[in-house]
Structure 1
Amino acid sequence: MPRTIWSGAISFGLVTVPIHVVSATEDHSVRFHQYHLADMGRVRVKKVCELEDREVGNAEIGKGYEYAKDQVVPISDQELSNLPLPTAKAIEIAAFVPLESVDPIQIGEGYYLTPDGAVAAKPYKLLVQALGRSSKVAVAKYAWSGRERLGLVRALEGALVLHAMRWPDEIRDPSEIFPPPVEVDEDEIEGALALMDTMAREDLAGEEFQDTYTEALAKVIEAKREHQPLPEAPTEPEQPGQVLDLMSALQESVDKARSSRGEAADADVHDLSRAKKTAARKTPAKKTAAKTAKKTTTAKKSAAKKTAGRKPRSA
């Protein structure tokens, strides 16, 4: 069980759920330290007071806000924990919204919310089931580490997950990085859509989604430890500096994607896009026919019930 990061409660309306917050993710990155290469002695960072020119210990160090060059306002952890905020001890749900209404660029780290004791079990499960049935997520406010934050609470396989979010004013305007004006024709768009269909997956399971960097780094470290030759890097195919023919690039990409999945690699991009359009046109017709047949059957059944329930007229 991961260690508790924060304890408090989820609050929506008059319902309160005592919870503990634990990390929902793990970092498997390889960590490096700094060493003096001449003798491999560890190089450490020391905390030095600029005024006294001496190293200070953690017990002597505290937080402060530089109000001006010659004025620093000290702030203690106790003062931060007693901020006059309703979110200081609770995750206050402000609204419930469809997940697709939240821009993914706002969503950050994920945390599991675990119920705090038997008394929290029922309201916890209530919120899990209500979120699952509504197909919505909760947007909440909470205060951690000296600042109020925005969060997203959702249900995941019977558990509640809190995602840290950025405030809307923290998102930069994307118009700053727009490309120069350029025209893209319909064939190129259809070619890109055909490539996307070829690369479509139902989930993220598979070798493509494994951390190969960490695996390769572990092999290098092991080889150096055993004084063995380093593993050779794979040769990368030469990439063109500039794409001159976009349709040719799309066609080659579709061929490679189909070949990697064991399919025929000679399908034309235009044929794939036409097949998709044809399938899209046929689907509504089938649905309409099915709906018509269903309505006819229902109407017949209703008429039969009315006839059966009708009393004969008296002579």
Structure 2
Amino acid sequence: MRSIWNGAISFGLVSIPIKLVNATESHSVSFRQIHTEDGGRIRYRKVCELEDREVTSSEIGKGYEDADGTIVPITDEDLAQLPIPTTRTIEIVAFVPADRIDPLQLGAAYYLGANGVPAAKPYTLLREALKRSNRVAIAKYALRGRERLGMLRVVDDVIAMHGLLWPDEIRAPEGVAPDANVTVRDKELDLADALMDTLGEVDLDDLHDDYREAVEELIAAKTSGEEPRETAAPARSGKVLDLMAALESSVRAAQESRAGGSGGAGDAGEAGDAGDAGDAGETEEAEHAEVRDLRKKKTPAKKAAGAKKPAAAGAAKKTAAKKQAAKKTTAKKSTPRKRSA
């Protein structure tokens, strides 16, 4: 990987020569702007507004536009004379626990490599100190004409640095949260928890960019003169008005997906019966119990850990039988007896 910046890490009185390389890369498909009538490229030219002519890169400098529209020229010499101690140094200013860093601050990621044989020992020292302390280093550095904030942490056997936004660059979330007072019932929370448990975890390495792959297939087809393959648009459900129904349907769908088509129908039926029973006027306590039973159902990935599901299913059947018997008893009591003459 090509280094984009060379300097040193300042660790107290210790100086560690390093080289900075990008830790990430973009796989996005780039497009060019064209004239739709003839396919000609659309290019942008840099034109001086006063002289109305195109200028070269050597004629272009920097300027700051004041509030009244006045342009104040700023030269590279002006910027070079500013007292920035971090021009070629990543200056560590503190060591803090990793959870002190708000993820909103995280920016671009870089790898810091030891630059030369003499840098190997102090580089390893800093890396192992970060590992043993379970902390990250907060540092200041200058890159692309401005001073920045960074966080150093260990990734495998390498020190990585994340660019951080300055605290005053994080906007407060004012006016973003819902204004209305919304009350969430325990049963709704239980179903949301059941949905999260059913979806489980995912290996991030298994995730990929479906849209980019589709764009690449489209470009390949057009390049070879073939007709692009038509893809069916994903089915969009209508506006959901019943939150409970949406949650129950989501849990059933997730269970069926996890089961791979085997055993999913039974789970769906039991969940549907729970929803129907709730509509039939069961008490809130009974609803909570049914949702808790739903949450206890294990996903296929967890079935090998225990064989308690048959017992749970039996308990559910007994509970349903007791409810049915209770309903029949209530119906008998409400029926008036015939008096004998």
Q: Identify the TM-score tier after normalising by the shorter chain.
A: 0.7 to 0.9
How many residue pairs get aligned? The number is 272
Aligned to 1:288: none
Q: Secondary structure at the match of 2:8?
A: strand
Which whole-Å CA distance do the structure 1 matches of 2:221 and 2:161 have between them? 41
- Contact kept, 8 Å, 2:197 with 2:295, in 1: the verdict is no
**Deviation for aligned residue 1:71:** 4.0
Alpha-carbon separation, structure 2, partners of 1:46 and 1:10: 41
**8 A Cα contact 1:11 1:92, kept in partner:** yes
Deviation per residue, 1:154-184 (Å, 9 max, x gap): 1000111111111111111113201122111
1:284 maps to what in 2? none
Answering whether residue 267 of structure 2 is matched by residue 245 of structure 1, we say no
Q: Which amino acid aligns with 1:271?
A: D
CA distance in 1 between partners of 2:254 and 2:136 (Å): 35
Letter aligned with residue 270 of structure 1: R
- Kindly state the Cα deviation for residue 133 of structure 1 after the two structures are TM-superposed: 1.9
Distance 2:211 2:69 in 1: 47
Q: CA deviation at 1:186?
A: 1.8
Q: Which shifted more, 12-21 or 106-115?
A: 12-21
Structure-2 separation of matches of 1:82 and 1:261: 62
Whether 2:284 is the aligned partner of 1:262: answer no
Letter of the structure 2 residue corresponding to residue 44 of structure 1: R
SS in 2 for 1:31: coil
Matches within 5 A, 1:61-140: 61-67=60-66, 69=68, 71-140=70-139
Partner of 1:217: 215
Q: In the superposition, relative to structure 1, how do residues 194 and 81 fare at CA in structure 2: closer, same or farther (>3 Å)?
A: farther
Q: Which has the higher strand share?
A: 1
TM-score (normalizing by structure 2): 0.74
In the alignment, is the contact (CA less than 8 A) between 1:65 and 1:72 conserved in 2? yes
Which residue is 1:236 aligned to?
A: 234
CA RMSD of aligned residues (A): 2.1
Aligned-pair identity in percent equals: 51
Q: When the two structures are superposed, what TM-score results if normalisation uses the length of structure 1?
A: 0.80
How big is the shift at 1:39? 2.3
CA 1:34–1:221 in structure 2 vs 1: closer, same or farther (change >3 Å)?
same
Bigger drift between 222-231 and 63-72 goes to 63-72
C-alpha distance in structure 1 between counterparts of 2:254 and 2:81, whole Å = 57
Name the SS of the counterpart of 1:4 in structure 2. Answer: coil
Q: Distance in 1 between matches of 2:74 and 2:123?
A: 35
- Structure 1 unmatched runs, 5+: 277-315
Superimposed CA distance per residue, residues 107-139 of structure 1 (whole angstroms, 9 cap, x where no aligned partner): 011111111111111111111111122221111
Letter in 1 for 2:210: T
- Find the counterpart in structure 1 of residue 225 from structure 2: 227
Q: Which runs of 5+ in 2 are unaligned?
A: 272-290, 299-341
Who wins on radius of gyration, i.e. which is larger? 2
CA distance in 2, matches of 1:237, 1:80: 56
- Asked if structure 2 preserves the Cα contact closer than 8 Å seen for 1:81 and 1:88, the reply is no
Q: Is the 8 A contact 1:154 1:162 kept in 2?
A: yes
Q: Per-residue deviation at 1:105?
A: 1.1
Q: Which moved more, 1:213-222 or 1:77-86?
A: 77-86
Within a 5 Å distance, the mapping from 1:142-153 to structure 2 comes to 142-153=141-152
